[in-house]
Amino acid sequence: MKIKYLPFSVPKIALLGLFMGISLALFPVFSFFGYSEKAEAELTYKILPREGKNLPLLEGNTLLAVSSPVTPVKIKKRIKMIITGYSSTPWETDSTPFLTASGAYVRDGIVANNLLAFGTKLMIPEIFGDKIFVVEDRMNQRAGNYHVDVWFPSYEGALSFGSKISYIEILE
């Protein structure tokens, strides 16, 4: 029986494998050679208007990566309400100042209201633009139903916000 020889030998295959392994291991190092902080600082962000929404652009023609695409919102109802601010201080809340009435922890975008159900999404466009808030807390009953309390991370922020009268837009 005649043995057929391969066009390359076993040592050559081992040497080729070693070379490829080393080059793959060094690839991340070589990829940073073109990086410079000056080039990063020269990048400019532009806003492209599209159907009433803004999409951020990088270098004029490349979209930035976003975690969720912009989706149009449908407004179910507009209601005029008093808008105030509150924070997680014991004299403004109960014995658990960082826990909302729905059981969630306070965070940016939380509002308190007695009229709307937990989880209701709303916007206050005259004050906060396109920012979407979620009802996850309740207020003292003496505040009534037509009062929205926006959570702020500091007492000073809530105090400086003050009290305003504005329309809220309840989203579907």
Per the structure, the complete domain to which residue 61 belongs is given by 36-70
State the DSSP string of the chain.
-PPPPPSS-HHHHHHHHHHHHHHHHHHHHHHTTT--HHHHHT--EEEEEETTEEEEEETTTEEPP-SS------EEEEEEEEEEEE-S-TTTS-S-TTB-TTSPBP-TTEEE-SSSPTT-EEE-HHHHTT-EEEEEE---GGG-SSEEEEE-SSHHHHHHH-EEEEEEEEE-
Last residue of a domain, one of 49, 70, 91: 70
Give the pLDDT score at 53.
47
Does residue 17 sit within a domain? Answer: no
Give the pLDDT score at 39.
44
Same domain, 79 and 142: yes
State mean pLDDT over 98-111: 91
Q: Please, which residues have CB within 8 angstroms of residue 100's CB and are 6 or more apart in sequence?
A: 106, 110, 112, 136, 137
Same domain, 98 and 165: yes
- Tell me the pLDDT tens digit for each residue of 64-96: 555 555 566 788 899 999 999 998 887 777 778
Does residue 4 sit within a domain? Answer: no
Structurally, the chain folds into a number of domains equal to 2
State mean pLDDT over 15-26: 64
- Tell me the pLDDT tens digit for each residue of 110-140: 999 999 999 999 999 999 999 999 999 998 8
Does residue 28 sit within a domain? Answer: no
Which CATH number fits the domain that encloses residue 147? 2.40.40.10
Same domain, 115 and 163: yes
In this prediction, residue 50 has a pLDDT band, given cuts at 50, 70 and 90, of: very low
Mean per-residue pLDDT over the chain, rounded:
75
Same domain, 61 and 94: no
Last residue of a domain, one of 70, 94, 117: 70
Same domain, 119 and 64: no
Integer Cα distance of 16 and 29 in angstroms: 21
First vs last Cα of the chain: how many Å apart? 79
